Chain A
Amino acid sequence: MGIERLFFELRMESLKISLLRAFLNALIFFLLLMMAFSILNLPMLYAFILGVLFLIINTYINYAGMTLKKIEDANPEVREMLRTAKDTQKDDNIMVKALHQEIYQKAKRIYSGNMVSYNTLIIKTVIIGGLIIGSIFTSTVTWNGINIPFSKLTLRSGSTSDLPPVTLDDVQLENSDEIYGDVSIAKLGNELIQLDVNPSMSELDMNKLKEEEGITLNRNTYPVDIGTPKGAGASGAKRPEESELVNAFYLKKINK
């Protein structure tokens, strides 16, 4: 049981080192993606998801590559002993027991830090630092060469995407449903309204433009054509029919 416990501890140490290496690699990968996504004006969420995936895959690859031979190479005092003990752990004889005992004694000197290359660690830390600074600078740069309509890329849930668009003619409106207002107001939506809010510059006929007329402005007089006609506004000037209906509805509500 003792040697199995030792191998379990070794596996845990291997996992820790694999996680450390994978975390640094994933961080570099994520920072690179972040810089690229920032320049291309893409959502950071995708960079984060790819980074996490990279972390998982890299951890697995590092852990799978952490063989007993590599542990032995990093700790020469147990060279060839761990592999031999692993292959013969089911044997029950005095030589195997003696080997296990020797491994227990030498295992106290096995240092997981020996399996970490400090040079590589320093280099990766420097790279991460450089990428963090780089990502700060690239956050101010935007290139709109790629315009991916992400809103249209979102998946529609259920089967609603296959349904035909609903028109208001199909909707049965309740006359008594006060929270939606008068039925006739809802039906307004079906009417086509021709609006010319900003006439296009191309529709302008420059030939129809007249020369400006000079107007003499005197004190206490005001040009009639730009003034507000008497009796307009709240006094009851002609208003659009739709406006009359809305007004009637809300006044009715207030009078109640």
Chain B
Amino acid sequence: MVKIEGVGDIDKLKDVFATLKKEIAKVIIGQDDVVDQIIISILCDGNALLESNPGMGKTLMVKTLAQIMDLQFSRIQSTPDLIPSDIVGTYVIEEDKGKKVFKFQKGPIFANIVLADEINRATPKTQSALLEAMQERQVTVGNQTFPLDLPFFILATQNPIDQEGTYPLPEAQTDRFIFKIKVDYPTAQEELDILNRFTTNTQTPELRVLLNKTSLKNLQMLTREVPIADDLKKKVVDIVTGTRNRKELIEYGASPRATIALILASKAHALLHGRKFVSEKDIEAMAYPVLRHRIILNFKAEREGKKTDDVIKILLSK
């Protein structure tokens, strides 16, 4: 377990995260960047949107993480007929000492890590229930409010291929996710390793519990305390305001929420890599997952075949 009692304990954090990633690597092969970004999202106390094709190990990844962090995990498979009560819970009639009473049965949202699979397949009403929980860390059913257990983290996924019958999240909603993480296909060697591991062994590897809720809260607090130089703060502001000023490429730029997200993510990235301060490299690494879902390219940029990552690269080079 991680106990931060003095300055000397800060140096041990690098080993803690290295051990954490090693433990995840027992189950998940490759996807180091994705794992890093999910850990950073948790450290920032934010939620992440994962864009990946089916079969990329998203559920396994999140489940493994929950196990190592000793957190309660639940999965919500979004379908068009999913209703809000399927997520948040509902009142059911129960018999208690011969009396029938309404008892609130908590939905799958009442977990520490929630995987909302294919969120773009759920109706807007269902999406809003999820997003309320994400933002407010509480759920309202009827006239009663139920707080969610902290730490709370939603990993929503989107399938980039299957667009038929979907309800894409509006930009105002996607802005609430700290990251949009892109999951690419594994390399040939990684795929070979996956093949060997999952077609020969029947037993899943035993995972150690390395963190708990208290440790995670401490790490989240430490993340916010990571110092950052004034000129780097100014650089972050310049990058985000740049998304609003580059009208020749960007139709709609990022909001101040992106500025906050980029600073927090950079701090978490520095902490994850054993640094006690934010470096320019942290900002450049985090700019992509923070900004790619917050900017909308104009027609000219799309016609030229530019992607959001290409435009972010142009912004960073300035």
Known: A94-B6, A94-B7, A96-B225. 17 other contacts (CB 8 A): A80-B229, A80-B279, A80-B280, A83-B231, A84-B229, A85-B227, A85-B277, A87-B228, A87-B229, A87-B230, A91-B227, A94-B4, A94-B222, A94-B225, A95-B225, A95-B226, A95-B276
A184 close to B (CB within 8 Å): no
B-to-A contact residues, CB < 8 Å: 4, 6-7, 10-11, 222, 225-232, 276-280
CB contacts (< 8 Å) of A99 on chain B: these are: 227, 276-277
How many A-B contacts if CB must be within 8 Å? 51
Q: Which A residues are CB-close (under 8 A) to B225?
A: 91, 93-96
30 contacts between A and B (CB under 8 A): A80-B277, A81-B277, A83-B229, A83-B230, A83-B231, A84-B227, A84-B229, A84-B232, A84-B277, A84-B278, A85-B227, A85-B277, A86-B229, A87-B227, A87-B228, A88-B228, A88-B229, A91-B225, A91-B227, A93-B225, A94-B6, A94-B225, A95-B226, A95-B227, A95-B276, A96-B225, A98-B7, A98-B11, A99-B276, A102-B276
Closest 3 CB pairs of A and B: A88-B227, A98-B10, A84-B277
A187 within 8 A of B: no
Q: Give the CA-CA distance A81 to B270 in the complex, in Å.
A: 12
Decide if A101 is an interface residue (CB 8 Å cutoff). Answer: yes
Interface size class of A (residues with CB under 8 A): 10 to 19
Contacts of A84 in B (CB 8 A): 227-229, 232, 277-278
Measured in the bound complex, the distance between the Cα atoms of B226 and A85 in whole Å is: 11
Contact A97 B227 (CB under 8 A): no
**Nearest chain A CB to B216 CB, angstrom units:** 17
A contact set with B: CB distance below 8 Å:
80-81, 83-88, 91, 93-99, 101-102
Chief secondary structure at chain A's binding surface: helix
Q: A83-B231, A85-B227 are in contact. Are A97 and B7 (CB under 8 A)?
A: yes
Min Cβ gap A194→B in Å is 86
